[in-house]
C-alpha cells in the first residue's frame, strides 16, 4: 500500500465553498455554467482549488456591488491577467465609475421618493388630527356639553 500524497494546495468541495460563502450548491454550479469558476473533476465530483475560492470571493463582491454576471466575468478575467497592465486597470476604473454613477442616480431617486413619502405622511397625520378633533367636538355636543 502506498501512502496517499497530500496536494500542495488545499482543495475544496462544492459543499465546502457553499458553506463558507453562504450560497447554495446550485449557485456555485450557475457560476460554473457562466465560466466564472472552473473546478477540476474527479469522476462526477468537483474539486475546487484556491484559485476557484478567490474567484468565488470576487464573484460575491461583484454581486454585492451590483455588477452583472458579464461584468463580473470581465473583471475576473482582469484579475487573472498579468497585474499592472494599464489597459486592464483603465477598464476596471471605468466599470467602477459606471457603477458609481448608477448608484448615485438611484440614491437621488430614492431621496425624491422619501421626500414625497414624508410629505404624504405629514398630510395624513394632519388629516387624522383634524378628524380626531371633529369627533371630539361631535361627542361633546351630543353629551350635553352646553348645560
Q: What is the DSSP string of 64-117?
A: HTT--HHHHHHHHHHHHSPTT-HHHHHHHHHHHHHHHHHHHHHHHHHHHHHHHH
Mean pLDDT by 10 residues, the chain (147 residues): 59 96 97 95 93 94 92 82 73 90 97 98 92 83 58
**pLDDT of amino acid 8:** 73
Separation of alpha carbons 129 and 127, rounded Å = 5
**pLDDT of amino acid 108:** 98
**pLDDT of amino acid 86:** 79
The residues near 28 (Cβ < 8 Å, ≥ 6 apart) are 14, 17, 18, 37, 56
Amino acid at each position: 500500500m502506498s501512502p496517499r500524497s497530500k496536494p500542495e494546495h488545499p482543495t475544496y468541495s462544492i459543499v465546502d465553498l457553499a458553506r463558507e460563502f453562504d450560497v447554495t450548491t446550485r449557485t456555485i454550479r450557475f457560476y460554473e455554467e457562466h465560466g466564472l469558476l472552473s473546478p477540476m473533476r474527479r469522476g462526477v465530483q468537483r474539486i475546487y482549488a484556491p484559485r476557484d475560492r478567490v474567484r468565488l470571493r470576487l464573484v460575491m463582491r461583484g454581486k454585492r456591488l451590483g455588477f452583472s454576471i458579464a461584468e463580473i466575468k470581465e473583471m475576473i478575467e482582469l484579475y487573472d491577467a498579468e497585474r499592472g497592465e494599464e489597459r486592464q486597470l483603465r477598464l476596471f476604473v471605468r466599470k467602477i465609475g459606471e457603477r458609481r454613477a448608477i448608484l448615485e442616480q438611484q440614491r437621488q431617486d430614492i431621496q425624491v421618493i422619501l421626500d414625497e413619502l414624508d410629505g404624504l405622511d405629514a398630510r395624513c397625520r394632519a388629516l387624522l388630527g383634524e378628524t380626531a378633533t371633529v369627533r371630539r367636538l361631535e361627542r361633546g355636543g351630543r353629551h350635553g356639553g352646553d348645560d
